[in-house]
Structures are given as C-alpha cells and as structure tokens.
C-alpha cells in the first residue's frame, strides 16, 4: 500500500535518511524505533505525503506521490490515519469536533454514534466538549488516536502514540491498534517505548524496524 | 462553490473550521460599508448628470431667433434678403417669420394686452430651426452684417452646449468612480483575505492532513468574506440612500434640481450589495487558491 524505494531525505543540512526501502503491505504491523532525532517522524511524514523526498520514489496505493494532483493527494490521505507526535488539533474546535474533523473536512456527515463509541473507548467521553488546550498531553494523544481511526483507514501511522499516557492506557491504545490490525488495517508505530514493543509481541507478529546511520534496518527480535 | 451557493446562508462546518479572526472580518465589513456608501453617491451622480444632460439638451430646442430692425420702407426687402441667406446656410432646417399676433403674445407679459403693436416700429422676428449639429453662427453673422445690417442673431441657448458636454463628462467621471470603488474594494478584500489566510496557515495545514481538498479550505474563507462584504455593503447602501432621502436638494428649480434618485432610480442602489458580495467572492477565491497552491 505504501512503498518507499531508495528514498533519501534531509532538511537542507546533513543527511537524515538515505537509500530507505520500505513496504507497508495490507495487514502489516510495524514498529519503527531509533534514537531521538534519527528521523522517525520524518519517515512517517514521507509515508503520508506531507514531505516530498529529496530523491527516490514513494508510492501511495499504487500511485506515484510525485505525480499525484493536489486533490488526489487529499483523497489519498483519507485512506491513511495519522497520529501526529504533536497531535495537530484545531484549538478553537472541541475535542469531539477535532476527532470528527476527517468527516467535517471532507464534507461528510459525522457518524455521531461511532464518534461517541470511539471517545468512550479512549476514555474521553467526559471531555467531548472541551477545547484541546485545556486537556492533558495524554488526553490529547488518545484523542489523536481516535481521530486517526475514525475514518476506518487502510493504514494507521502512529508517531509516539503512547508518549504521554500511563502504562494501563498505553496497553489499551495498543490493544485498539492490534484490534484494528486484526480487521485488516496496516499499522506502523514509531516509538521509543521498548516495553510497548515487547508487550505487542505477545499480541501480534510485528516487524521491528530501526533507523540507524541514516538507513532503515530490521531490528529482528533482539529487544 | 458558486456565488449563489454562498448566498444561501448556512453556517455549517466549512465556516467553522477556520477560527473567526474578529479583526479582519470587522475591517472587511467596514470597508464594504464605506465603499457601498461611496458607490451610492457615485451612482446618484451618474444618474443625475445623465438627467441633467438630457434636460439641458432638450431645452437647447435647436432653435434660434433672428431679430431684424429696419426702416419700414426697407423691412420687406431686408426680410427677403435674410430669408435667402438663411435658405443657403448649412445647418438651417427651416425659417419662419413670426406674425403680429405672435409678437403681441410675446410682449403681453411685459406690456399688457392693450399694447398697440401695429403702431410700433417693432423688429421682425424670424425663428430658425436648426439641424442637431446647428449652424455656424459666426459665419452667419458675418454674412448678415454685409447683406442685412439690421439683423441680429440671437442664439441665447447656445451657451448651454458646453454644459451639456460637461454633464456628459461628469457622468463618465461618475462611472469611473464606480469602477475605482469596486477596484479598491477588491484590493482591500484581497489584502484582508490574504492576511486571514496567512494567520491560519496552521489551520490550513491540519485540514490538509485530514484530507481536506483545496476547494473545501477555500470555501471556509470565501464564505466568511463574501458574507461580511454583503452585510457591510448592505449597511453602507442603506446609509447612503438614507442620506439622499434626507438631503435637502434645491427644490423644483435651480441648478441642483434632480441631484439624487428619482422614481425607479431609488431601486438602483439595490445592486450594490450583491455586487460587493460578488467582488468579495472573486477576490477571496483568487487569494485563497493562490495561497493554497503556494503552501503545498
Ligand atoms: N522541518 C524541519 N526543518 C529542519 N530540520 C528538521 C525539521 N524537522 C525535523 N528536523 C530535524 O531532523 C531530524 C529528525 O527529526 P525527526 O522529528 O524525524 O526525529 P525523530 O526520530 O522523530 O525524533 P524524536 O524521537 O525525538 O521524535 C532532527 O535533527 C530534527 O532537528
Ligand atoms: Mg519524532
């Protein structure tokens, strides 16, 4: 579904990623690790087309990213649920509206029942009408996860989805992602949290990737 | 999204996703109001100067009067000579010698009905009907002075010709003002929309990330500015028309007669608010799509 071939990227300074090959197939479950600043967030941004690579080829659902029209890219993004490291909410909208934003922004009616079920799943039904800046970091991350999955995307890309939540909640979020994966959604989670990865191994057969020396390596099971 | 769609005021989600930045929207409303107010005046000026030109050119009446004074023994011969000159003067359609009764009628307001016109050495009056282009008055005077020295050409309505031309160019100026007002409004709304778009790059980014197309993002801005321009222009138009309704324009006579709106003319300013909305729609749309193309 998402395929990177020989992709290199940098932000104008020193090289960050070089010669990266990656394939996220339907139903796959990937973890992405690496030290802070290694380029995990950058790699995810390349995967949903927020960044264009310096070189190499990126295919989203069989279409060359470089050749996608602006509207086609917008439509493609609806098939990818993203949990951003910094959440990316609209601070003047309520939490519920932020979670429903993928529907609102594509002019579709918001499925109220699904929205409330999802909010209670991530333990936020009490905060539906709160504005994002009044919520804790963990609450925002849970909401970000809810927004990423509300459109039943084919792929979920999660950037540190459990960075700010307690152990119990992180298990719960992981379970939700594993649930989705069992129903066919491909998942890629960028994280430092090795415990999360270890716990996941009991639930799902995940592939662990690691960014080191600007390249993407398979970390195997030595965690 | 069409302009008409915006007129169906629906405060739906597209409008809500962009935070209302009170400052730019208030400025847009005020600008549209001020521009509409000025447009009402320009429109009134255009209508009135058009009517003025019409009125003045009507009273030009394309006629002149020739007064012929001569000794009673010569008057017949001189009249014949003058009529012959007029017959061969380009721009003269017809001539007519006024008879005694007509002359009496002309003098009656001044001297009363009992004036013994027959006994007075009154000048002969000859009415000249001109073509719309008129005749060469200076040339005619020259010929008359040699062949009929007692003839005086009175073309008193001619002084109005330049006034008619002035009224016509005033009308042109009024239309230029309308165009300038529309242009200034387009420019200001483009700036306001550009400012609003720049202030909301983060909002635009988030909307993009969740799969919004350019058209949806643009709509949020376009709707807001179009509605604001409509509301502001409606207010400005009402104020402008009210100002004219209350204006103590010189009554039935006088130079300024008819400055303002008359009859159906009062409805003409109704076109200003939709026009302002249309300008805002086009200006915001252009600004939005330009920014969205750049910020990709
Ligand atoms: N927009 C940008 N402009 C310039 N440099 C950037 C930009 N975004 C990221 N970087 C740099 O690129 C490097 C990789 O950033 P990235 O966010 O991908 O790292 P990361 O692996 O996600 O780190 P973390 O685990 O801390 O989230 C960092 O050194 C960062 O400073
Ligand atoms: Mg990161």
Ligand 1 pocket, mutate which of A38, A86, A215 (most atoms under 8 A from CB): A38
What are the C-alpha distances in Å from A168 to residues A142, A144, A162, A165, A172? 13, 17, 10, 8, 6
Query: Pairing between strand A15-24 and A2-10?
Result: antiparallel
Query: Pairing between strand A63-64 and B63-68?
Result: unpaired
Residues 6 or more apart from B6 whose CB is under 8 A from it? B222, B223, B226, B227, B277, B281
Write out the residue range of the structural domain in which residue B213 sits: 3-57+161-295
More confidently predicted of A34 and B131: A34
Among B149, B180, B195, where does a domain finish?
B149
pLDDT 10s digits, A63-107: 999 999 999 999 999 999 999 988 899 999 999 999 999 999 988
CA-CA distance, B93 to B101, in Å (whole number)? 24
Among B118, B149, B180, where does a domain finish?
B149
The CB density around residue A42, as the number of other CB atoms within 10 Å, is 20
Contact A89 B206 (CB under 8 A): yes
What are the C-alpha distances in Å from B50 to residues B53, B59, B163, B165, B258? 5, 15, 12, 11, 10
| Exposed / middle / buried, residue B142 (Cβ in 10 Å: 0-12, 13-18, 19+) | exposed
For residues B93 and B18, state if they share a domain.
no
Q: Is A32 in the pocket of ligand 1 (CB under 6 A)?
A: no
The interface residues of chain A toward chain B in range 153-192, judged by CB-CB distance below 8 A, are: none
For residues B144 and B166, state if they share a domain.
no
For residues B244 and B179, state if they share a domain.
yes
The CB density around residue A217, as the number of other CB atoms within 10 Å, is 13
Residues 6 or more apart from B91 whose CB is under 8 A from it? B130, B131, B133, B134, B135, B136
For residues B13 and B75, state if they share a domain.
no
Q: Are A40 and A210 in contact (CB under 8 A)?
A: no
For residues B50 and B185, state if they share a domain.
yes
CA angle B87, B88, B92 (to 5 degrees): 60
Q: Is residue B13 less than 8 Å (CB to CB) from chain A?
A: yes
Distance from CA of A75 to the nearest CA of B (A): 6
More confidently predicted of B23 and A193: A193
For residues B269 and B192, state if they share a domain.
yes
For residues B169 and B258, state if they share a domain.
yes
Within a domain: B13: yes
Among B119, B149, B179, where does a domain finish?
B149
Query: Pairing between strand A63-64 and B92-97?
Result: unpaired
For residues B41 and B178, state if they share a domain.
yes
- Token digits for B78? 């001189």
Q: Is A39 in the pocket of ligand 1 (CB under 6 A)?
A: yes
Q: Are A35 and A43 in contact (CB under 8 A)?
A: no
Q: How far is CA B123 from the centre of its chain?
A: 43
Within a domain: B65: no
**b/e for A85-111, b at 16 or more Cβ within 10 A?**
bebbbbebbbbbbbbbbbbbbbeeebe
Question: pLDDT band for position A40 (50/70/90)?
Answer: very high
More confidently predicted of A223 and A11: A11
- What pLDDT is recorded for position B258? 63
- Token digits for A44? 């995810």
For residues B202 and B276, state if they share a domain.
yes
Instruction: Return the DSSP state at A191.
Output: -
pTM of this prediction?
Answer: 0.76
Distance from CA of A85 to the nearest CA of B (A): 13
- What pLDDT is recorded for position B294? 84
- What pLDDT is recorded for position B116? 75
Q: Is residue B216 less than 8 Å (CB to CB) from chain A?
A: yes
Chain B residue with minimum CA distance to A78: B211
For residues B131 and B32, state if they share a domain.
no
Percent of chain A residues past pLDDT 70, beyond the cut:
98
Q: Is residue B204 less than 8 Å (CB to CB) from chain A?
A: no
Residues of B in contact with A106 (CB under 8 A): 210-213, 216
Taking alpha carbons only, the member of A42, A78, A83 closest to residue A60 is A78
Within a domain: B144: yes
pLDDT by residue for chain B (296 residues), tens digit each?
555 554 443 445 566 788 877 778 888 899 999 999 999 999 988 888 888 777 777 766 677 888 888 887 888 888 888 888 888 888 888 888 888 777 777 777 777 777 776 777 778 888 888 887 778 888 888 888 888 888 888 776 666 677 778 888 888 999 999 999 999 999 999 999 898 998 899 999 999 999 999 999 998 889 989 999 999 999 999 999 998 888 765 445 445 556 678 777 888 899 999 999 999 999 999 999 999 988 76
Which among A50, A84, A90 is the top mutation candidate for probing chain B, defined by the most B β-carbons within 10 Å of its own β-carbon? A90
Within a domain: B128: yes
Contact B17 A90 (CB under 8 A): yes
For residues B86 and B225, state if they share a domain.
no
For residues B192 and B52, state if they share a domain.
yes
| pLDDT value at A195 more than 90 | no
- What pLDDT is recorded for position B2? 58
- B151 membership: H or E segment, kind and range: strand B151-154
- What pLDDT is recorded for position B254? 47
Question: Can you list the alpha helix ranges (DSSP code H) found in B61-99?
Answer: 72-87
CA-CA distance, B56 to B50, in Å (whole number)? 10
Q: How many domains does chain B have?
A: 2
Chain B residue with minimum CA distance to A144: B210
CA-CA distance, B30 to B124, in Å (whole number)? 66
pLDDT 10s digits, A120-148: 988 899 999 999 999 988 889 899 999 99
Within a domain: B156: no
């Amino acid at each position: 579904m998402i395929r990177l071939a020989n992709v290199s990227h940098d932000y104008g300074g020193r090289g960050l990623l070089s010669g990266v090959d990656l394939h996220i197939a339907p139903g796959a479950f990937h973890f992405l690790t690496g030290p802070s600043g290694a380029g995990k967030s950058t790699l995810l941004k390349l995967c949903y087309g927020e960044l264009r690579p310096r070189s190499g080829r990126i295919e989203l659902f069989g279409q060359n990213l470089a050749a996608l029209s602006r509207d086609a890219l917008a439509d493609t993004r609806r098939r990818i649920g993203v949990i951003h490291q910094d959440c990316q909410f609209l601070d003047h909208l309520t939490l519920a509206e932020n979670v429903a934003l993928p529907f609102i922004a594509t002019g579709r009616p918001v499925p109220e029942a699904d929205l409330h079920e999802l909010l209670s799943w991530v333990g936020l039904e009490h905060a539906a009408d709160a504005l994002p800046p009044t919520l804790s970091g963990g609450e925002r991350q849970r909401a970000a996860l809810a927004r990423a999955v509300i459109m039943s995307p084919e792929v979920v890309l999660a950037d540190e989805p459990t960075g700010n939540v307690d152990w119990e909640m992180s298990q719960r979020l992981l379970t939700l992602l594993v649930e989705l994966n069992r129903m066919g959604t491909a998942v890629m989670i960028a994280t430092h949290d090795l415990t999360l990865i270890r716990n996941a191994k009991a639930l799902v057969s995940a592939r662990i990737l690691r960014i080191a020396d600007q390249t993407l390596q398979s970390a195997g099971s030595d965690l | 999204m069409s302009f008409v769609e915006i007129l169906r005021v629906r405060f739906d989600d597209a409008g809500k996703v962009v935070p209302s930045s009170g400052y730019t929207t208030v400025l847009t409303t005020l600008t549209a109001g001020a521009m509409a107010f000025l447009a009402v005046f320009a429109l009134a000026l255009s209508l009135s100067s058009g009517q003025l030109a019409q009125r003045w050119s009507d009273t030009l009446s394309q006629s002149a009067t020739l007064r012929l004074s001569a000794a009673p023994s010569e008057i017949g011969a001189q009249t014949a000579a003058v009529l012959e000159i007029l017959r061969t003067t380009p721009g003269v359609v017809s001539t007519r010698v006024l008879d005694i009764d007509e002359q009496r009628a002309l003098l009656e307001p001044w001297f009363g009905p009992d004036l013994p016109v027959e006994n007075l050495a009154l000048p002969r009056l000859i009415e000249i009907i001109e073509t719309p282009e008129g005749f060469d008055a200076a040339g005619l005077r020259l010929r008359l002075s040699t062949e009929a020295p007692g003839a005086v050409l009175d073309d008193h309505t001619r002084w109005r010709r330049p006034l008619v031309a002035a009224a016509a160019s005033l009308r042109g100026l009024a239309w230029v003002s309308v165009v300038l007002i529309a242009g200034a409004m387009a420019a200001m709304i483009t700036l306001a929309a550009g400012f609003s778009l720049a202030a909301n790059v983060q909002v635009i980014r988030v909307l993009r990330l969740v799969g919004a197309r350019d058209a949806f993002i643009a709509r949020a801005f376009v709707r807001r500015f179009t509605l604001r321009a409509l509301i502001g222009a409606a207010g400005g138009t009402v104020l402008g028309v009210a100002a004219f309704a209350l204006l103590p324009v010189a009554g039935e006579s006088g130079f300024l007669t008819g400055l303002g709106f008359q009859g159906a003319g009062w409805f003409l300013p109704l076109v200003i608010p939709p026009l302002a909305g249309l300008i805002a729609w086009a200006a915001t749309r252009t600004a939005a799509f330009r920014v969205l193309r750049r910020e990709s």
